[in-house]
Amino acid sequence: MDDHVAETLRADPRMADLIDRHGPVDVAPADDEFDRICTSIVNQQLSTASANAIRERFLDVLGGAVTPDRVLAADESALREAGLSGTKVEYLRNVAAAFRDDERDLTREGLAGVSDEAVVDRLTEIHGVGDWTARMYLIFALGREDVLPLGDLAVRKGIARIYNGGEELSRAEMREIADSWRPYRSYGTRYVWSEYES
């Protein structure tokens, strides 16, 4: 996190407190975009602890490497025994087929210069990739710096806790709060998550 990001976020006094409490955060692109989107699908609607345990078993089934070919070739019953629902197995296979066979390049290089909203539109055409997963992809796979994923329950609860004593806020109110973080809302989001999970 460079000085300009910190300076921008520190204009918000509550965010300045979070920076002091949690230290620098990173919004670097993932080494492997496909692995990262699979992680988001595994994590859908799960606690962090449950998601991590299932992810480890998922990795074991795939022999330690998450690739489209290995996901498509994996035994469905082994994936189910790893803790994945039948629906998530289907979603993972849909994503694997899209990454392997789709003529549209879904990698960081293929999406360079494509707007965040256009990336979300492209990804959500894959059955099983919703808005939440697409926005996690923007932050964690592509390293996009100005994403505010209000579809994430922890983000909404975290913002409400930090800025409104835990009382619910509308999404419009949350967007207004996060406006001062622009163009680094992904970093602000990382701080909200850090505080929520602490």
| pLDDT band, residue 8 (cuts 50/70/90) | very high
pLDDT of residue 147: 97
> Which run of H or of E encompasses 55?
helix 48-61
pLDDT single digits (tens) 40-64: 898 877 777 888 899 999 999 999 9
pLDDT in tens, 140-156: 999 999 999 999 999 99
Describe the chain by its helix, strand, coil percentages, rounded to 5.
65, 0, 35
**Could you give the CA distance from residue 108 to residue 113 in angstroms, rounded to a whole number?**
10
Looking at residue 44, what is its pLDDT?
79
Confidence bin at 96 (pLDDT 50/70/90): very high
Q: How much is the pLDDT for 197?
A: 87
Rounded mean pLDDT of the chain? 93
Q: Are 139 and 186 in contact (CB under 8 A)?
A: yes
